[in-house]
Amino acid sequence: MKIGVGQINTRVGDFQANTQKIFQACEQFAKQGADFAVFPELAVSGLPMKDLVGYEKFVESAETALKELAPKLPLPALIGCPRLCDGAIGVRNSVFWIVDGKICDVFDKHLLPNYGALNDTRNFDSGDKIGCINFKDKKIGITICEDIWSLKEVSTSSRYANQEKPLDYFAKEKIDLLINVSASVFSSANDNVRHKGGMLCKVSEYVNAPLVWCNLVGGNDNLIFAGASAYVDASNGEAKCECLNKFAEDLKVIDTDNVSGYDGDSADFSGDDDLLQALVLALGDFVNKCGIKRVLIGLSGGIDSALVAALAVMALGKDRVIGVSMPSKISSQHSKDDARDLAENLGIEFHTVSIADIVEATESSLAPIFTGLPRDVTEENIQSRSRGLVLMAISNKFGALVLTTGNKSECSVGYCTLYGDTNGGFAPICDVYKTEVFRLSRLINEKAGREVIPQNTIDKPPSAELRPDQKDEDSLPSYDLFDAILRLHIDEYLSASEIIARGYDKAVVEDVVRKVAGAEYKRTQYPIGPKVSPVAYASDRIVSVAIRRGMQ
Amino acid sequence: MKIGVGQINTRVGDFQANTQKIFQACEQFAKQGADFAVFPELAVSGLPMKDLVGYEKFVESAETALKELAPKLPLPALIGCPRLCDGAIGVRNSVFWIVDGKICDVFDKHLLPNYGALNDTRNFDSGDKIGCINFKDKKIGITICEDIWSLKEVSTSSRYANQEKPLDYFAKEKIDLLINVSASVFSSANDNVRHKGGMLCKVSEYVNAPLVWCNLVGGNDNLIFAGASAYVDASNGEAKCECLNKFAEDLKVIDTDNVSGYDGDSADFSGDDDLLQALVLALGDFVNKCGIKRVLIGLSGGIDSALVAALAVMALGKDRVIGVSMPSKISSQHSKDDARDLAENLGIEFHTVSIADIVEATESSLAPIFTGLPRDVTEENIQSRSRGLVLMAISNKFGALVLTTGNKSECSVGYCTLYGDTNGGFAPICDVYKTEVFRLSRLINEKAGREVIPQNTIDKPPSAELRPDQKDEDSLPSYDLFDAILRLHIDEYLSASEIIARGYDKAVVEDVVRKVAGAEYKRTQYPIGPKVSPVAYASDRIVSVAIRRGMQ
């Protein structure tokens, strides 16, 4: 059998564009002799739909778009689309089986996740039927995403304790093929899906049939879907696998009678190069799906803004990226030079606007009510916020989206100024630890075979430059130590006492943990940025602000 | 039987303070001859716990605090506390029955809500036992919050289709009393709980036993819990009810043999006075639970900032509130006068800082790169952001929390400047429509019997004053029309076509709906503010930013 796997990049609510993509893929698959086509989860509506499902007309319009598409399709297809139904919520996450232009069957997502970045139980009713299609004498089981994550061996095993598991049904049913219409959220630690012996292999073994995993690709707000769709057959001893691209749309016809073995392509996402591609995809898709022409970045001469600018050029091309240097009286010459060098290396439009006069006017205006009070963090923040003011003015005037340059390490402890350097519509590296920022910057230069990010930017000690001779390590532990503690506290949900028990310094750990709690109010107002770690703020770790701090 | 109902105000993570409150209440109840005491949901840990449950040590510490409290209790008590357990998540939302200083039984929340502002299924495993305590020859059924919202007559009826309903169990079991340990989220439309024939009456009828509803009181971030606990007996024909206070802590011993009938106190929350009290509670609790001494408000002379300042004085007292007027060259004399009059009426500290020099310095600094480009919204935003800069500097220097003054109508369509007037740590009226802002302002003056909010502030046409002679109604429909459309689109999830079908002007409706979608990116960065409407942004209506707009 020949199966057209349509790994497309959809936009939420863009029914016309999404169905057009599906149609074009089907035309290509038909020409290539495919027997049928399959597309990712909710291909017609895009995903995550979140509370847009509350609008009955919205769901109805998606169904209408699917019904208009159906008669035009040149081959049978499995297409994901929400549908109105009876139930507490009244909407299901479904896949439609269309043959000869007609909807012949429909299957609903059965297991609805509510953990990490997912909250399907809020927006969908669970399906009450698990079933197969019969096609060309083959019995093909249909599942949607989470439906296949119910083996004891995989992480969500103990969930859905009281629900029938689709995999148990299909294991008994003796099927010829299992299809999974998927939108699996990327995380750089998610390295156990496609590789030999990984999750897909286990599922194929369990149901004793080959498996087509058609995964979504693209960035939608904070979520990245990595593609990497695959056909996996572990049903007859020796595992076979055929792979689609990672981090890009890919249309591939898989001939199930002629599948190669496992090779290097079948690896998952554990490398820095994957992380880099994920970040580029997320940034480009956010900007493009918002319909924004250009982006704007404050270039400090430091490594965070340098990495963000380099990512932006990779995602959008140099003509859509503007860099602005905003020196103050305190800014060092190397900062100004490094910012200019970076812009030249990237070939982007570059402006310099001094904030000195704005800072002075602000301090003078406030002088009458600040009389007699010592200088403190207030004046540091005035500098950062003056830059925020300048950047937003340029953003407004030029119609360019400001990119926020903060990394996960600084977001964690609030080492940033709200309404200053946190300004922006998207924060490309807010889930990337500082130690990773260094690694990715080196990788970019290495891959380019030249100095894209100035070597001096990589080598010099990080500094916010909000007071003379300031260094990050005056206020924070060394980044190696700092990130190690943060990973335990955030990504592994360990409390201070547990981290200390692992041999870390008590005072340092307690200070970091206290600062993490104290910075929650800044994070509640932080721009959207892509989840790439196992536990990203805003999606995987949601806590209140007005709490007693330091207890966790 | 005499039951001590401990309607206390807890803080998340403040195990010591929460258990101390429970202890003091129990001492008072014991003196008053109570047989046992009951407290709200998760009284020991506070609520919502959200992803703090991910920290095993955090849950363990709450349990430890409870175990340390138990031997000190002078009477039996039902006390809510999370507990570690086996299961997919490993935590349950429980209530402990303590007699003679020992934990004698424990019950877990059975029905876990995941809708509106609630996501219990993310953080807790469901209980697998529904049961009773036997006390003084009485059989008493124990439930937690959502457990009693499963009657067909109440709104969540079609949820939990596959789960055993605690109420069905207790209806069969023939109990003498039902206890509900609760934390019910306030909404001004939530007027069907306590009154005669309301939800509690229906539950009492259904299980044929009287009911004690011990509800949490207090504000926790965006959620308000209104208290209004009650003893309701509708088991013998004529309904009886005894009530605790709304919007305040209240400790009351209810003698079940001597309960009065229904009276005015038993009404729920439909009036403007309730809304006012809810907003005051939320504001005061946010500030106090964050441990913040003072708040700071930019007073424009307009009605939104006037209402917020008045609420702040009601919540915190005049000595903890600072007002700042920040006139520009454009500001009218009446704006400056109205701001000053308001501050005088409220008796608060008041400063004036002109933004003229900051605006001028910013425009001059940008002049070289703005050469030849026309003035536009950029210059309006520079004014708003200069005010944001000044306000945050004063906030930093004085250690005062900035309150954001935006209302729900303007948040809906983005009629506000990000990093300008949206700055702040708490937004007390962001879920209050502009028409409600007028009503509440008039109510404050009426209740005070004097002009607290200057009459001119109430009477003049609203204006952002970012360009000469600007009026809100130049850009927006009249607020009566505007709010009516917004209520249909937001609070009732109606799409443009459905609103138009109700007789509203097509162009106006489509413009409003388009603007609502276009302002999502501003709302993602908006400060926390209290949910008071049926559908509040951030809690009840969560949507993505990078979507095709206007489809809903």
Least reliable range by pLDDT among A485-499, B28-42, B158-172, B516-530: B158-172
| Mean pLDDT value across residues A291-311 | 97
Question: Is A388's Cβ below 8 Å from some Cβ in B?
Answer: yes
Query: In which region does residue A195 sit, left (phi positive, over 0), alpha (psi from -120 to 50) or beta (all else)?
Result: beta
d(CA A55, CA A43): 18
With bands split at pLDDT 50, 70 and 90, how would you rate the model's confidence at B549? confident
Parallel, antiparallel, or unpaired: how do β-strands A321-325 and A240-243 relate?
A: unpaired
| Mean pLDDT value across residues B323-334 | 92
Query: Which residues of A have a catalytic role annotated?
Result: 41, 109, 145
A-B interface: how many C-beta pairs under 8 angstroms? 261
Question: Is A115's Cβ below 8 Å from some Cβ in B?
Answer: yes
Question: Is A547's Cβ below 8 Å from some Cβ in B?
Answer: yes
Question: Is B124's Cβ below 8 Å from some Cβ in A?
Answer: no
Question: Is B360's Cβ below 8 Å from some Cβ in A?
Answer: yes
- The ipTM of this complex is 0.95
Closest CB to B159: pick one of A88, A114, A394: A88
pLDDT tens for A168-182 read: 999 999 999 999 999
pLDDT tens for B237-246 read: 778 999 999 9
Residue A389 reports pLDDT greater than 80: yes
Residue B157 reports pLDDT greater than 70: no
Question: Is A52's Cβ below 8 Å from some Cβ in B?
Answer: yes
Which residues of chain B neighbour A423 with C-beta distances below 8 Å? 418-419
d(CA A134, CA A262): 29
| Mean pLDDT value across residues B269-280 | 92
Distance from CA of A391 to the nearest CA of B (A): 10
Beta-strand runs (E) in A256-364: 294-298, 321-325, 349-352
Average pLDDT, chain A: 94
Rg of the Cα atoms in chain A: 25
Contact B311, B342 (CB under 8 A): no
Residue A474 reports pLDDT greater than 90: no
Backbone angles phi, psi at B82, to 5 degrees: -70, 160
With bands split at pLDDT 50, 70 and 90, how would you rate the model's confidence at B270? confident
pLDDT, residue A203, reads 95
| Mean pLDDT value across residues B206-212 | 96
Query: Which residues of B have a catalytic role annotated?
Result: 41, 109, 145
pLDDT, residue B158, reads 67
Closest CB to B498: pick one of A57, A386, A397: A57
With bands split at pLDDT 50, 70 and 90, how would you rate the model's confidence at B463? confident
Residue A185 reports pLDDT greater than 70: yes
Closest CB to A495: pick one of B58, B114, B494: B58
| Mean pLDDT value across residues A367-376 | 97
Which residues of chain A neighbour B370 with C-beta distances below 8 Å? 397
Residue B366 reports pLDDT greater than 90: yes
pLDDT, residue A190, reads 66
Identify the three-state secondary structure at position A269.
coil
pLDDT, residue B551, reads 60
A401 - beta bridge partners? A295
Give the B window 417-446 contacts with A, CB below 8 Å. Answer: 418-419, 423, 425
Closest CB to B373: pick one of A14, A361, A397: A397
Residue A192 reports pLDDT greater than 80: no
Counting residues of chain A whose pLDDT is more than 70, the rounded percentage is 97
d(CA A123, CA A91): 7
pLDDT, residue B185, reads 94
With bands split at pLDDT 50, 70 and 90, how would you rate the model's confidence at B368? very high
Residues A12, B382: C-beta atoms closer than 8 Å: no
Counting residues of chain B whose pLDDT is more than 90, the rounded percentage is 85
Backbone angles phi, psi at B191, to 5 degrees: -110, 25
Give the B window 515-534 contacts with A, CB below 8 Å. Answer: 521, 524-528
pLDDT, residue B494, reads 96
Residue B162 reports pLDDT greater than 80: no
Residue A157 reports pLDDT greater than 60: no
Q: Please, which residues have CB within 8 angstroms of residue A9's CB and are 6 or more apart in sequence?
A: A21, A216, A217, A218, A249, A285
pLDDT, residue B154, reads 65
pLDDT, residue A150, reads 80
Tell me how far apart the 2 most distant CA atoms of chain A are, in Å: 87
| Mean pLDDT value across residues B519-532 | 97
pLDDT, residue B90, reads 94
Distance from CA of A386 to the nearest CA of B (A): 8
Identify the three-state secondary structure at position A395.
helix
Contact A548, B14 (CB under 8 A): yes
Question: Is B198's Cβ below 8 Å from some Cβ in A?
Answer: no
Distance from CA of A442 to the nearest CA of B (A): 30
- The larger pLDDT score, comparing residue A125 to residue B163, is at A125
Contact A175, A132 (CB under 8 A): yes
Identify the three-state secondary structure at position A297.
strand
pLDDT, residue A3, reads 98
Residue A527 reports pLDDT greater than 60: yes
d(CA A305, CA A303): 6
Vertex A52: Cα angle to A69 and B533 (nearest 5): 160
Distance from CA of B11 to the nearest CA of A (A): 6
With bands split at pLDDT 50, 70 and 90, how would you rate the model's confidence at B155? low
Residue B156 reports pLDDT greater than 60: no
Residue A258 reports pLDDT greater than 60: yes
Residue B495 reports pLDDT greater than 70: yes
| Mean pLDDT value across residues A280-309 | 97
Residues A392, B551: C-beta atoms closer than 8 Å: no
pLDDT, residue B349, reads 98
- The larger pLDDT score, comparing residue A237 to residue B471, is at B471
Contact B69, B78 (CB under 8 A): no
Residues A548, B11: C-beta atoms closer than 8 Å: yes
A160: nearest CA in chain B? B88
| Mean pLDDT value across residues A417-444 | 98
Residue B78 reports pLDDT greater than 80: yes
Residues A56, B13: C-beta atoms closer than 8 Å: no
Rg of the Cα atoms in chain B: 25
pLDDT, residue A301, reads 95
Distance from CA of A488 to the nearest CA of B (A): 11
Average pLDDT, chain B: 94
The terminus-to-terminus CA distance of chain A in angstroms comes to 54
| Mean pLDDT value across residues B160-178 | 90
pLDDT tens for A432-458 read: 999 999 999 999 999 999 999 999 999
Residue A270 reports pLDDT greater than 80: no
Question: Is A358's Cβ below 8 Å from some Cβ in B?
Answer: yes
CA distances from A342 to A309, A333, A404, B171 (A): 9, 14, 17, 73
pLDDT, residue B471, reads 86
Parallel, antiparallel, or unpaired: how do β-strands B223-226 and A321-325 relate?
A: unpaired
